[in-house]
Each structure stands twice: as C-alpha cells, then as structure tokens.
Structure 1
Amino acid sequence: MIRIDIQPRWRFHQNDGSSLDPQGLALLQAVHDTGKLTEAAARTGYSYRHAWNLLGKWQEFFGTPLIILARGKGAHLAPLGEKLLWADQRIRARLSPQLDNLASELELELNRVLQASNPGLRIHASHGFAVAALREWLEQDSSWQWEVQFRSGSEAMIALQRHDCEVAGLHVPSGPLGALSMSRIQPWLRADQRVITFVVRTQGLILAPGNPHDVHQLADLLRGNLRFVNREQGSGTRMLLEGLLRRDNLDSTAINGFHNEEFTHAAVAAYVASGMADAGFGVEAAARQFGLTFIPMAREHYCLLCREDSLQLPAMGALLKVLQNPEFQARIGQLPGYALSRPGEVLPLTQALELWSKESLL
C-alpha cells in the first residue's frame, strides 16, 4: 500500500538573485537542544566540519551569525537563529494538518487504483496530539485504507450528518460547560449516534516560559498590554474558551488579539514561543512541546462519534481494537495533559453526557 508524506519547504532570496535552502534548520534545532555544536552535528548526521561550513554559509548570506560559540560554555542560538527556528516550527505547526489531509486524499485515490487495501473508515476530527497519534498508529496497519481528515469540530459534525465520514471527533468539557457545548452543535446530533470514548485532556493558558507577565487567570487576558493568539472559530477549543469567558462574565472583545487565529494547538504554542504573542489557549502537550508555562483551566473529553449502523463495519471493529490496544494506550499515556478515558467503549450519547456532567471541570 502506498503512503505519502508531504513536508513544507521554504527558501530565502536576496535582491541580487542569490538564494538559500534552509537545510540547516535541523542543525539549529539540535544546537538549541544540546547546547553543543559537536553533539548537534552528530545528531543531524553531519561531520563537525560540514556543520561549521554550513553555518558559515548561512552567516555569509544573512550577514550575521546564527549561533554563538563561547569557550567552555558550548553553543547557543543567536537572535536570528532563534527566529529562524521558531519560524520553521510555526510553518510546520500551521501547515501540517492541511498537508496531512492532502496526503490522505492522494493515498486513498492511488490505493483505490492499485486496489492495495480494504476500504477502512473516513475519520474527520480536529487536530490534536491524541488523534494525530491515532492516525499514525492506524497507518501502520497496511490491511486497511484509513482516511483521516483534520477538520474543525463543527465541520466534522456536519460531515458526519451528511454521511461524508463514518467517524467524527467530538469535544465535550466536563461539568456544566458540557451541556452548553453540546447545545451549540445540537443541530447536527441524532438519536442514532453513538459515542466511542477515547481520552480526557487538559486545556488552559499557554504562556511564555516563567510567566513574565504574571498571568494566572482568564481575567488577566483583558489587560491591554497582553497579546493573545486564539484557535479558529468553530474549533472545540475556541468553544471551550468562549464558554469559560461567559461563565466568568468576561468580555472577549476586550482581549487584545482574540480574533488572531491559528489552526492547531502546536501553532498556538509556536506563536507564543516565537514572542509574537504573550498568551494562548490550548492543550498542555503543546505548551510542554515548546517549553512554555501552562496553567490548567478545564478538562474535556475528546471522543469519537459515529452512527449506530457504522458499528457493524469490519473496519470499525479494527478501530476499536486499536483504541483498546495496550501498546497504543501506552503511547497516549506519554502525552502531557492526556489521560485515557475507557478508550474504545461505545455508549449512547445521552448516557455519555450524563456521566461527564457529574465530573468536575478541573
């Protein structure tokens, strides 16, 4: 079975016509992680001489160094090196879901022509660390052709209603906010739909390392000197934040940057890490990935929704086995801020909502 991997690639150009392929970005990441050029070169598979020459080529192109070497103190990124590294992180965090969607579509068409596998399930879900791990795990099973598309929560629900997918991702906050969240997607809910339980994840404020602006609660976001970055309209995370603000009688229009949107948790965290925003809202795993401060605000269930008749599909049985696989569960257990929640259990929607409404929000 054919697999497709699409990666973003970018180049720099000068007015004199010269250009530069940023192949050294992996080296910059390794310097950032290790603090030593020798170890960074080894990690990226470069000789020390090649790494040194590569950095010299970049310095000549930009006219300023990318790393700073200090005798006895190792190496660290210069300001330009930091900006380039964060730019690469932002590009990947923002574009990866769209590129993964395109790759999934192309895989499906090619393998249909090749008749390389059995048809699996069409899964539409908002991008997150757990569902991304699920996608990677499913792709290891070459006996099925899975189509996993990253969509906003509302788009996934509409697709399920229109029979454009068999499985849709669903976010439901614990406690009273869960009922409010469900009321917003009520038009797309049906009595024959069933919940497949998956994980509980923690969402909250994503802040610069050390919390330099002394942010501790949502009300602090209303301070005019803070710059905020949000998730896109229609995403489950955006709905959760709006519900929390209404609960606390806080005016979202007073938040500087509330309509400044990114389309993944990682993109929000990368935006904050790059210094372009002081605060964001998202999952703990994204904050930890970029070494940021995280203040928990709410727990929510990330589950899967399907029609009852889809439970009879052979591929659905394969999906449930994956969710119940101890090795897969161990993989999810490694994600900061994620906890397994009876993964692979099938419940009527009303029963699941009743259970979650009795839980505390945090």
Structure 2
Amino acid sequence: MRMPGLESGLRRARQRSGLKQAELAVRAGISRQTLSALEAGRAQPSTAIALNLARALGCRVEELFWLREEGEVIRTGLASPARGSRRVLAGRVAGRWVAHPLRLDDPLSVITPADALLARGRLRLLRPRESVEANVLISGCDPGLAVLAGRVADRWAGQRLCWIGASSAAALASLARGEAHVAGAHLFDESAREFNVPFVRRALANRPMVVVTFAHLEEGFAVAPGNPRRIRKPEDIARPDVRFVNREPGAGARRLLDRLLRKAKVPTSAVKGYDRLLGGHLQVAQAVAMGAADAGVVARSAAVAHGLHFVPLSEERFDLVFPKEWSGDPRAARMVETLEGRAFRRELASLGGYDTRQSGHLVTELP
C-alpha cells in the first residue's frame, strides 16, 4: 500500500506567530537549516521535534503536520440537492460525514475552494482528510459570516470555517438534522418580543443549545443609487411602478417585510414581485444592481457591496446557535474568541450596518 505523504502548515503557522526562522529554530532546539527543510517539505520531523515546534508556536501538532491521502473517497449523503454542482463543502458533525453542494446560483461559490468533488454518490476529497474533518460548518444568511471565516483562518493555521448560505429557519433546521455545527439566525418573535430564542426552542425541540450574539445588523430596502423610485417606507413598494424581489419563507428579511406590511395594512398581493424569490442578501442586492428589480430587503452590507442606496427599516440581532455538547470543542472556543476579538469587530463594522459591541456575548443556554 502506498504511504500517504506528509503535509505541512509550519511556515504559515510561524508567519502568523510573527517569528523569524532563526527565532523559532532556537525555541524548538533545532537548526535553522532543519526548520527551513521542514517548512519546504524536504524533511519529515521526528515526534520530539514536532512536539517542540507545536509548543513553541502554541498550537497542536495536527495544525503543523498531517497525513494526506490524495483523492481519498468517502461515502456520505448530501445535505441538499446538488442541482448540477459537483463541488461540495464537507465536514464531520457529531461523528458523521456531511456534505453541502456549492450552489451554482450562489455568486460566492465560484470563489469558494471546495473540499471534495461529487462522483457517483461519493466524495473524492481535494484536501487532506484530517483538514476536512476539522472544518466547522456554519449555516446562515448574513454576509458577515465570511469575515468571521477569514478571521478564524488568519488566527489558527489549518482551521477552516465553511459558510453555507441558508435562511435563518433553514439554518436552524440544518442544525437540528445534524448537518451543521453552527446556525446563524435573525428571527423576531412578535408575541414574545424576542429575537431567535423562541425559534431555537421550537426548531431544536428543547435540546441543550448555546446562543451567542454575532452582531446587531441593519436591514432595509436596497434600491438603485439616488433612489429614483423614491422608496422610503413599506407602502411605497406596493406602487404599480415598483418591481420588488423577495426572500424565501423562513428568512429573517422576509419575516421583517411581512411584519411591516401588516403594520402598514398593505396586502402582499399588492406588491409586484412578492412571490419572486431569491436565496440570500447578496443575491437580492445583485438583482437590484442589475436593474432586474427596483427594491428588496437586505442587510446594509449587501447594499453597500453592490453600490446601492439603502433605506433602513429595522435593526436585528443576528445570533449563532450551537449544541451545548459542542461548546467544549476547541473549535467552538476559537469561534467565540474571534467574535470577541478587536480585529473581527473592527472589520465587520467597517462593512457598514453592523453594531459589534455585543459580538461574542452569551445570550442564553437552553433549555
């Protein structure tokens, strides 16, 4: 049997630590030449050297060196229909392999590296098995999740947080089915006057869960630059000259729109395009930017990303939800630590429409 090769994340881990080769070599008790060879993959470390390097860099050995079996094939089902896509994100949730197709209708999927290719009902891995197993699968709709993924990867070499686009309700359902480690949601319960927690209770059937704040975000109408249709309030989208594009049922933006239309006593049948559905903030903003619609409800960051005018409607709390049993996993601690970090908060706030003062705050533990 062919032995798998040894992959190395040593150089990247050293660079992130800010150490020069000579400095790390001294701390690990090896020569700079040996360290250079290990970083270049020209040599393999002994157990003692690997342990010393991990201690010097403050990380796990698995983050520095791992075995790779090229093109390993695994069996697993798909969390959603492939619909022509062969590229997937994958990971292990509660000991079970899970795969999510990178949707062809998602503009971000083109720039998202896949973990595996779908072939005859199986997955052929494109990355080391150990690396894919370490993935954190996070389902949700807010574009800011991409910032969280980037900050996690920056801080912990080899750690990948995979953002899977989904409405808030779909994200909670995915978490309940064991298809994700984390779900993101911004759903307001009118009777309880509370964000997210009542929906978590219902979707997760009183399973022990942790709810942590991602950020507060602004939602409103994305309209063309200069707002030529003069759309300023919910009643305006019921005018016959306004073409609207909506989010799917279960989306926080859809629930917000329905709530505001009821308050304004505007029937949904009066909104041209109410039944025209797209699957994300960025997709809705893109439709408006292309002139295919005059308005849609999005997070401010999505409107800004497409150069659109934004009409604020509401501030909502976007939370991250994960099983209490997973809270002891180092990956959960890394995610929350990143949320609390200054770099993440500053970058997310710079996108526009985010209040990050409570990012990482524990909302509740259920039940």
Q: TM-score range by the shorter chain?
A: 0.5 to 0.7
- Report the AA paired with residue 158 of structure 1: A
- Matching residue within 296, 299, 320 for 2:312: 296
> Aligned residue for 2:170?
155
Distance 1:267 1:194 in 2: 30
**Pair 1:177–1:284, CA change in 2 (3 A):** farther
- SS of the equivalent of 1:201 reads strand
Please report the RMSD computed on the Cα atoms of aligned residues, expressed in angstroms: 3.2
Distance 1:270 1:159 in 2: 26
> Aligned residue for 1:338?
354
> Aligned residue for 1:169?
184
Alpha carbons 1:208, 1:293 under 8 Å: kept: yes
Matches within 5 A, 1:68-147: 94-99=105-110, 103-104=114-115, 109-113=125-129, 115-116=130-131, 119-126=134-141, 128-140=142-154, 141-147=156-162
Q: TM-score, normalised by structure 1?
A: 0.63
Distance 1:224 1:177 in 2: 35
Distance 2:226 2:159 in 1: 46
> Aligned residue for 1:201?
217
Alpha carbons 1:157, 1:168 under 8 Å: kept: yes
- Matching residue within 334, 339, 355 for 1:318: 334
Alpha carbons 2:166, 2:279 under 8 Å: kept: no
- Report the AA paired with residue 258 of structure 2: E
> Aligned residue for 1:247?
263
Equivalences, count: 261
Alpha carbons 2:220, 2:311 under 8 Å: kept: yes
- SS of the equivalent of 1:344 reads coil
**Pair 1:108–1:137, CA change in 2 (3 A):** farther
Deviations 1:250-307 (A, max 9, x none): 2112100111122222222222222221111111122222332211101101110011
Alpha carbons 1:173, 1:299 under 8 Å: kept: no
> Aligned residue for 1:86?
none
CA-CA distance at 1:241 after TM superposition: 1.5
Alpha carbons 1:203, 1:299 under 8 Å: kept: yes
- Report the AA paired with residue 149 of structure 2: R
| Matching of residue 261 in structure 1 with residue 272 in structure 2 | no
Distance 2:133 2:196 in 1: 36
Greater relative CO, 1 or 2 (CA 8 Å, sep 6+): 1
> Aligned residue for 1:22?
none
In the alignment, structure 1 segments of 5+ residues that lack a partner are 4-91, 352-362
CA-CA distance at 1:167 after TM superposition: 0.9
Alpha carbons 2:145, 2:163 under 8 Å: kept: no
Distance 2:157 2:289 in 1: 37
CA-CA distance at 1:350 after TM superposition: 7.4
> Aligned residue for 2:38?
none
Distance 1:207 1:261 in 2: 17
After superposing on structure 2, the runs of 4+ consecutive aligned residues of structure 1 that deviate more than 6 Å are: 174-177
Distance 1:195 1:185 in 2: 9
- Report the AA paired with residue 159 of structure 1: S
Distance 1:261 1:145 in 2: 30
Alpha carbons 1:138, 1:146 under 8 Å: kept: yes
CA-CA distance at 1:201 after TM superposition: 0.6
**Pair 1:231–1:133, CA change in 2 (3 A):** same
Deviations 1:170-211 (A, max 9, x none): 113498785487666653042521111111110111112222
Specify which structure has the higher proportion of helix: 1
- Report the AA paired with residue 220 of structure 1: D
Distance 2:152 2:269 in 1: 41
- Report the AA paired with residue 169 of structure 2: S
Distance 1:183 1:226 in 2: 35
Alpha carbons 1:206, 1:269 under 8 Å: kept: yes
Distance 2:363 2:192 in 1: 20
